[in-house]
């Protein structure tokens, strides 16, 4: 079995949930046309299916290694990257001013889902490059944009994000990397860890975006600046020249994504310091980096969708061929006829579709914000932590169910099911753990505006329910969703009255409950669209309705469980006591 891009599902969600057809042709997407979308997705699918997917297991047997101070990537990755760059895929959503296609973010997200599903290890490299280009375009001065952006957008050079340090972890306020002013540039000293694709030989140059402190800067997050540090220093002609004082000093030995070069990086180890240029103003680096981090968080959510889709496809293919036991009511047949196997597959498929719906809706909100639609920016900000956290959490479950359906065969390497489990695991951790996303969701995105944007989302969801209640087939799902909406709105108001400790203790349950409810609402919206289009491709549209019904009946009750557990957060001292945790 090999990956096949779900083009019909992607196009359906892009149209019905992301609203791509509505933003195409509007500034700044003047060059995009709805008619181009199927062709773009089809070409992306060719690369994903025929170039990237065959290399998905290569990193397991041939992981990157450091050879003479440079990372040697997995065999085949360099040629795959050449085809990727020559196809213009690094330029999808970038500005035409710098050689980009200027496509809506939602289209780029659908394409990114394909890369992640086909080969997660490979996909991390270009996604980071896109984020670096976005941060540089938003915050860099004209000289830096002129020198670096076109090369990043074309894929000729790649980009990285350097945040984490050995002693700091996710606490960016504790970073120690230093930046010493020297003329028109700075000298950077320090170490960074967990730097995905921190070094490789696939591109001519690597552009590192590095958080560091200028000497004398305030402590904590308010004293962090952002610097552009190239692997090779470009000459006046823009051609990479002298090697900068930045090197990979180790590769992390990881549980999964073996083909991705995850580096520990040393800046200034040779003594003179790595040459870097300030992006924006001093001490504002963290706010600039959030441009890249928000992009990365959405794309990690899409990694969860891609992994879940791959797990679904692999599970269905195996179950359709595996003969074992006697299915109820049949004299023979494959395990796909066993009721519980069907239950697991429907669970996987419905959760995957819900995760895709949330991610595409977030991307669509980002696109509407760029066209000037009022409130769209707030909607995108609200959805991104949910897209990242909820989608990657369900990726864990779908990967595990894929292995379960394979039975003992899933526990051996030949089937590839075990690799999916290993690869999926990192997605809930990097770019901010589920708890970090949950605290961002409740502490910033909900609390910041008094919960107004979330209340607006729940009202819109109630309107969807009102429409669906007129449908004989969707009325039951709508009734179930409306009941949970009422509880979610009550909890929104309750949480805003609580203290910070209670909100932090409740955060993950609140996000997971809201994510489950958002998924149900979006699937209901898509089912309404499918019902209206039933005359065209009836089998496809029928499947959208069935998945919505299943999700409402079998997955939505989890939201009520999350919300019920959340209530217990009102007693954090009892729940989180030192005695219960056996802390001396």
pLDDT of residue 320: 94
Q: Which of 267, 283, 299 is the last residue of a domain?
A: 283
Number of domains comprising the chain: 2
Cα 439 from Cα 504, distance rounded (Å): 6
Is 431 one of the catalytic residues?
yes
Q: Write the pLDDT tens digit of every residue in 229-249.
A: 999 999 989 999 999 999 999
pLDDT of residue 573: 57
Q: Is 441 exposed, middle or buried (0-12, 13-18, 19+ CB in 10 A)?
A: buried
Residue 8, in any domain of the structure: no
Average pLDDT over residues 174-193: 96
Contact 221, 173 (CB under 8 A): yes
Q: Write the pLDDT tens digit of every residue in 349-408.
A: 999 999 999 999 999 999 999 999 999 999 999 999 999 999 999 999 999 999 999 999
Give the strand pairing for 225-230 and 232-234.
Answer: unpaired
Q: Over 60: is that where the pLDDT of 557 sits?
A: yes
Residue 375, in any domain of the structure: no
Residue 531, in any domain of the structure: yes
Name beta bridge partners: 246: 267
The whole domain housing 469 covers: 442-571
What average pLDDT does the chain have? 94
Residue 446, in any domain of the structure: yes
Tokens of 454: 């979330």
- Cα angle, residue 11 at apex, residues 9 and 15 outer, rounded to 5°: 115
More confident residue, 168 or 557: 557
Confidence of residue 572 (pLDDT cuts 50, 70, 90): low
pLDDT of residue 570: 58
DSSP string computed for 445-474: IITTTTTHHHHHHHHHHHHHHHHHTTSTTT
pLDDT of residue 583: 64
pTM of the model: 0.96
Write the CB contacts of 377 (distance below 8 Å, at least 6 apart in sequence).
Answer: 365, 369
pLDDT of residue 567: 84
Cα 109 from Cα 300, distance rounded (Å): 10
**Residue 110's closest CA among 360, 304, 346?**
360
Cα pseudo-dihedral 434, 283, 246, 231, rounded to 10: 90
Q: Write the pLDDT tens digit of every residue in 94-152.
A: 999 999 999 999 999 999 999 999 999 999 999 999 999 999 999 999 999 999 999 99
Confidence of residue 292 (pLDDT cuts 50, 70, 90): confident
User: Among residues 137, 353, 431, 531, which one is catalytic?
Assistant: 431
Confidence of residue 348 (pLDDT cuts 50, 70, 90): very high
Average pLDDT over residues 45-65: 97
**Residue 197's closest CA among 255, 158, 170?**
158
Q: Over 90: is that where the pLDDT of 577 sits?
A: no
Q: Over 60: is that where the pLDDT of 80 sits?
A: yes
Q: Write the pLDDT tens digit of every residue in 465-486.
A: 999 999 999 999 999 999 999 9
Q: Over 60: is that where the pLDDT of 56 sits?
A: yes
Residue 560, in any domain of the structure: yes
Residue 580, in any domain of the structure: no
Residue 385 exposure: Cα atoms within 13 Å on the Cβ side: 26
Residue 251, in any domain of the structure: yes
Write the CB contacts of 285 (distance below 8 Å, at least 6 apart in sequence).
Answer: 211, 212, 224, 225, 226, 227, 279
- Cα angle, residue 507 at apex, residues 110 and 357 outer, rounded to 5°: 20
Q: What percent of the chain has pLDDT over 90?
A: 90
pLDDT of residue 41: 98
Residue 393, in any domain of the structure: no
Confidence of residue 295 (pLDDT cuts 50, 70, 90): confident
Tokens of 99: 């050689």
Tokens of 261: 């070069």
Distance of CA 59 to the CA centre of its chain: 21
Q: Which of 240, 257, 283 is the last residue of a domain?
A: 283
Q: What is the largest CA-CA distance in the chain?
A: 82
Q: Which of 283, 308, 334 is the last residue of a domain?
A: 283
Write the CB contacts of 183 (distance below 8 Å, at least 6 apart in sequence).
Answer: none
The CATH number for 176's domain is 2.40.110.20
């Amino acid at each position: 079995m090999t990956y096949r891009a779900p083009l019909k599902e992607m196009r359906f969600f892009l149209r019905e949930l992301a609203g791509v057809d509505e933003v195409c042709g509007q500034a700044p997407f003047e060059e995009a046309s709805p008619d181009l979308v199927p062709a773009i997705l089809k070409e992306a699918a060719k690369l994903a299916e025929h170039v990237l997917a065959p290399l998905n297991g290569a990193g397991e047997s041939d992981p990157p290694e450091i050879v003479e101070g440079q990372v040697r990537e997995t065999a085949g990755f360099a040629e795959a990257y050449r085809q990727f760059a020559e196809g213009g895929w690094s330029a999808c959503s970038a500005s035409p001013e710098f050689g980009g296609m200027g496509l809506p973010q939602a289209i780029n997200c659908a394409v990114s889902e394909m890369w992640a599903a086909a080969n997660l290890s490979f996909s991390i490299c270009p996604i980071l490059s896109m984020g670096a280009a976005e941060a540089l375009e938003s915050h860099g001065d004209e000289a830096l944009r002129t020198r670096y952006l076109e090369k990043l957008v074309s894929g000729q050079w790649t980009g990285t994000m350097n945040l984490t340090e050995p002693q700091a972890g996710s606490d960016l306020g504790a970073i120690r990397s230093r930046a010493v002013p020297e003329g028109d540039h700075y000298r950077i000293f320090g170490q960074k860890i967990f730097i995905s694709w921190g070094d490789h030989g696939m591109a001519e140059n690597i552009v590192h975006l590095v958080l560091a402190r200028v000497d004398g800067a305030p402590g904590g997050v308010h004293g962090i600046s952002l610097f552009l540090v190239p692997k090779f220093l470009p000459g006046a002609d823009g051609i990479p020249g002298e090697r900068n004082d930045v090197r990979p000093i180790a590769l992390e030995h990881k549980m999964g994504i073996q083909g991705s070069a995850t580096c520990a990086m040393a800046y200034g180890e040779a003594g003179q310091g790595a040459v870097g240029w300030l992006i924006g103003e001093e001490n504002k680096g963290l706010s600039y980096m959030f441009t890249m981090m928000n992009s990365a968080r959405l794309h990690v959510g899409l990694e969860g969708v891609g992994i879940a889709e791959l797990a679904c496809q692999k599970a269905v293919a195996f179950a359709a061929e595996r003969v074992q036991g006697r299915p109820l009511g049949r004299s023979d047949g494959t395990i796909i006829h066993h009721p519980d196997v069907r239950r697991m597959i429907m669970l996987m498929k419905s959760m995957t579709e819900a995760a895709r719906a949330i991610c595409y809706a977030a991307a669509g909100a980002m696109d509407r914000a760029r066209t000037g639609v009022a409130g769209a920016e707030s909607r995108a900000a609200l959805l991104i932590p949910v897209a990242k956290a909820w989608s990657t959490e369900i990726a864990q479950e779908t990967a595990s169910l894929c292995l379960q359906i394979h039975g003992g065969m899933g526990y051996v390497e030949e089937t590839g099911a075990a690799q999916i489990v290993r690869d999926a695991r990192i997605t809930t951790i990097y770019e901010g753990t589920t708890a970090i996303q949950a605290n961002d969701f409740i502490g910033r995105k909900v609390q910041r505006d008094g919960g107004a944007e979330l209340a607006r989302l729940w009202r819109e969801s109630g309107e969807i329910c009102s429409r669906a209640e007129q449908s004989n087939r969707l009325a039951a799902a709508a009734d179930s969703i409306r009941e949970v909406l009422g509880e979610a709105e009550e909890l929104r108001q309750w949480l805003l009255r609580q203290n910070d400790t209670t909100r932090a203790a409740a955060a993950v349950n609140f996000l997971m409950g809201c994510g489950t409810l958002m998924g149900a609402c979006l699937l209901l919206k898509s089912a309404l669209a499918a019902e209206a289009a039933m005359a065209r491709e009836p089998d496809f549209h029928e499947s959208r309705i069935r998945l919505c019904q299943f999700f409402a009946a079998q997955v939505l009750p989890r939201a009520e469980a999350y919300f019920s557990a959340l209530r217990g957060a009102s007693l954090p001292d009892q729940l989180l006591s030192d005695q219960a945790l056996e802390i001396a």
